[in-house]
Amino acid sequence: MVHINNRFLDLPGSYLFSEVARRVSHYVSQHEGERVIRLGIGDVTQPLTPAVIEALHKAVDEMGCADTFRGYGPEQGYEFLREAIVENDYRRRGIEIAPDEVFVSDGAKSDTGNIGDILGLDNRVAVTDPVYPVYVDSNVMAGRAGTYLGDGRWSNIIYLPCTAENDFVPALPAERPDVIYLCYPNNPTGTVLTREQLKMWVDYALCNDTLILFDSAYEAFIRQDDIPHSIYEIEGARQVAIEFRSFSKTAGFTGLRCGYTVVPHEVCARDEKGAKVPLGSLWNRRQCTKFNGAPYIVQRAAQAVFSEQGAKETRSLTDYYMRNAALIRTKLQTAGLQVYGGENAPYIWVKAPGEISSWCFFDRLLSECNIVGTPGSGFGAAGEGYLRLTAFGSYEDTLEAVERIENWKL
Ligand SMILES: *Cc1c(COP(=O)(O)O)cnc(C)c1O
């Protein structure tokens, strides 16, 4: 008989979203005619913008004509898109990234999940807690996580709690990790790191020979000037950091699929003999072997995000969600709730009132306000006692949701 990768059995089932769905559908079946507003899932609701649609149509037509048809493209992405990324996402912010340091893909989930392919299994991994589950689960599958301890924790992973007590800024670890995942602006807490706070991590990585895997999928939602959009805004980061970006939340590409990973030439790790090996060449080899490039039409659509018109439209798209975020933030505060995030990110992290648990708060919000959130404990032990609301709903739904909460007897 064929053997499975046993580590898949070690993974607890994807309990969070299935349990949310189960409770919501049970509630809905018992309360016909009541309108439930879903501010739980992290998917966007607004359509692709006209500039993106126009580029898609044009690219589709090219695919139907022998002269302009494109088959397999470069695994790393088309030059036109890599150049546009380098120019718009980096050079305009004073950061020099070479086009061959950019690897276009079908999204940041794939890349953050796959990056472990090029790293040894004996590396010690650190994550913030709460955390985007992909970082942990992909390391479980690879065999780096150790044994499951319950409560979302693994014996070999270093957890850095982020709570109101430390302003959601992870403290430097007591034990040295080889690899640390940082996601800022953060999912699920919606909080950010200032330049100084991020510099602390880059300096730590430089001193301790630690690799930072920096997920900046939400950089387009930053509204304050002093918050870094890229880790490469910090001096020395080119030596220690790989950055992941996505068009999903920025431009509504969750269904279209496009993201990219930046691996600067300087980022290295050691082989068994202690010799330095550039990680960019390994990632290139990995992608060329297991990935055949993002679709041509999708890369044209992504390029359109950077056109003058596309950039304007994309900005109003993120403004739309940030208006929701501000509304949720202020109205919940007025209602007497403790809220975090939502100023530079499309997530609002709400403290459950009166020391009740995340799931208890979830149930009350569902049954008393007909609003669906996501229990914070599902993102890690340190998320207990919090609940995540997203700003990705429509304005009308968000407005109605916050009015219900305002009138709620907590
Ligand atoms: C949504 C999200 C992404 C983007 O994933 P895609 O695969 O590009 O859609 C990446 N990281 C985090 C933390 C996210 O929440």
Which residues sit with their C-beta closer than 6 Å to ligand 1?
Answer: 42, 107-109, 132, 183, 187, 215, 217, 246, 248-249, 254, 259
Fold classification of 7-47+309-406 (topology level): Aspartate Aminotransferase, domain 1 (3.90.1150)
Q: Whose CA is nearest to atom 4 of ligand 1?
A: 108
- Predicted confidence pLDDT, tens digits, the chain (410 residues): 999 999 999 888 777 888 999 999 999 999 999 999 999 988 999 999 999 999 999 999 999 999 999 999 999 999 999 999 999 999 999 999 999 999 999 999 999 999 999 999 999 999 999 999 999 999 999 999 999 998 889 999 999 999 999 999 999 999 999 999 999 999 999 999 999 999 999 999 999 999 999 999 999 999 999 999 999 999 999 999 999 999 999 999 999 999 999 999 999 999 999 999 999 999 999 999 999 999 999 999 999 999 999 999 999 999 999 999 999 999 999 999 999 999 999 999 999 999 999 999 999 999 999 999 999 999 999 999 999 999 999 999 999 999 999 998 77
Residues of the chain with CATH 3.40.640.10: 53-307
Q: Which long-range contacts (CB under 8 A, 24 or more apart) does 245-249 make?
A: 245/85, 245/89, 245/108, 245/216, 245/217, 245/219, 246/107, 246/108, 246/217, 247/302, 247/305, 248/44, 248/107, 248/108, 248/217, 249/42, 249/44, 249/217, 249/218, 249/220, 249/221, 249/346, 249/392
Residue of 214, 243, 248, 321 to test ligand 1 pocket, by largest number of atoms within 8 Å of CB: 248
Which class does domain 53-307 fall in?
Answer: alpha beta
Which one, of 106, 129, 130, 127, lies nearest residue 116 by Cα?
A: 127
Question: How remote is the CA of residue 186 from the centroid of ligand 1, in Å?
Answer: 11
- Say if CB 345 and CB 183 are below 8 A apart: no
With beta carbons less than 8 A apart as the criterion, state whether 392 and 44 touch.
yes
Return residue ranges of the chain for CATH 3.90.1150.10: 7-47+309-406
